[in-house]
Every structure is written in C-alpha cells, then in structure tokens.
Amino acid sequence: MVRLPRLDYPVKAEISVLELATTDLAVMGILFLSTFIRSALGFGDALIAMPLLAMVVGLQVATPLTAMGATTIAITILVRAWKKVDLKAAWRLVLTTWIGIPIGIYFLKAAPEIVVKSLLGVIITGFGLYNLIIPNLPRLLNDNWAYLTGIIAGILGGAYNTNGPPVVIYGMLRRWDPAKFRATLQGYFLPTGLAILITHGLAGMWTPRVVDLYLYSFPVILLAVFLGGKLNQIIPQGKFDKIVHSFLVLIGILLIIKQ
C-alpha cells in the first residue's frame, strides 16, 4: 500500500506566511491612517497608531515603529514646508521642553499617574468642548508664552509621554493658520522625536522585525503624508479649528479612560 506524504509541516508553514503577510498589511494600513491624520492636522499619529499597532504586533514593536514613522513624517513635511515654521516659537518650545523633561521624570515618582492624566484629560476635553460650543478663544500675542508651554510639555512628556497637547493648544491660541500650524508642530516634534528614536536604538529596540515593518511601510507613509498635506491645504481656517478641537476632545477622553 502506498503511503501518502503527511502535509502537516507545509500547511503550517503556509499558514505562518499568510498570517505574517496579513500582519504586515494591517501594520501598513494603521500607519497610513495615523500618518494621514498627522499630515492633515499636524499631530495625533501616536494616538491612533500606538493602541492599534500594540494589538497587532505587540508593544515592543509598536513603540519604536511609531517613533520611526513619526520622525519620517516630520522630516517629509519639513522638506517642503520648513519656510512656514514659526522658528521663534519652535526653538523656544523645544528648548524648554528639554528642560522640562527631567522635571517630569522626577514628577513621575512624586505624583500618581492616574490623577495627573485624568486631570490633564479633563482640561483638554474642557478646552476642546468650550471652543466647539463658544468659539471665542483668547489670542496670545506674545511669543514668550512658548517658554511656559514648553516647560509644561516637557514635564508631561518626561512623566507620561504626553507632550503634544500643550503645544497644540498653544498653536490654537496663537491663531496659526492650518499650514503654519502643521509645519511648526513638525519643527517642534522632529528634535524631540529624534531624541526618542535614538533612545530606542540605544536600548536595542530596533530589531530586524521593526526595521522590516518600517521599510515595508515607508512608501505608504510617504503617500499618506502627500494626501494629508493636500487635505491640509484645502481646509478653511474655521473648519480646521473645529476639527482640531474635536480631536482634542477625543484625546482628552482617551487620557481619562485609558488608566
């Protein structure tokens, strides 16, 4: 009697390859969505990418992969939009953020995370809702407010990796138009993001899997930056403000519930 060969191993290998390909496509889809939002609004990619990528590839891969994508987004946007960056505000924000980071690290040990994140979430949600219902923001006319904003952002970034919201609120109070808002945020996020990226590399988090996923997703990221930039150019100032405030409400709610 002729025995047919067992197919266990080939079938398992085929399933493994299929699962791997599905995972790669899911990662590219997530990075496309998060990059598109970041390119259109100037911020928000990590809010979308981190929880979704963590579910697909785990936190150890999601964290450095998100940082690589964020740095690529900032560089790609700044290549064409660097002239629109508010340099006075950007360097003040970056410098004082670096000063605030060690304070935040100390603060992390002194204050309960759930209390601070919940309080931050309430403030951000309240700010967003107020300006959606009563769109009458005060306008900051003095660049020196960037120093205080940077310190606050650095403290929150060093303690809880949430340095973005204060800078976004500062940009709204400065009445930056959509193009300037988008470009200046990249001028702020690039140096701070590079520091995070280098730290990940020194910690050994740039694994072959992370690098492969980044290289696979690189064309998708560039496409999303291009399409998001086109959307940014056609959003009127009034509607742009409403979109940003709505997104701030979402960020605030997530900060409150994700404890």
pLDDT digits (tens, 9 = 90+) for 60-94: 888 889 889 999 999 999 998 889 999 888 999 99
Farthest CA pair distance, the chain: 90
Query: b/e per residue, 99-114, with b = 16+ CB within 10 A?
Result: ebbeebeebeeeeeee
Residue pair 226/35 in contact (Cβ under 8 Å)? The answer is no
In this prediction, residue 108 carries a pLDDT of 64
**Predicted confidence (pLDDT) per residue in 223-250, tens digit:** 999 999 999 888 887 788 888 888 888 8
**Percentage of residues in the chain having pLDDT higher than 90:** 28
CA distance 26 to 21: 9
**Residue 148, Cβ density class (10 Å: 0-12 exposed, 13-18 middle, ≥19 buried):** middle
Cβ burial 225-250 (10 Å sphere, 16+ → b, else e): beebbeebeebeeeebbeebbebbbe
Check whether 21 has a pLDDT greater than 60.
yes
Task: Kindly state the average pLDDT of the residues 173-190.
Answer: 90
Name the pTM for this structure. Answer: 0.76
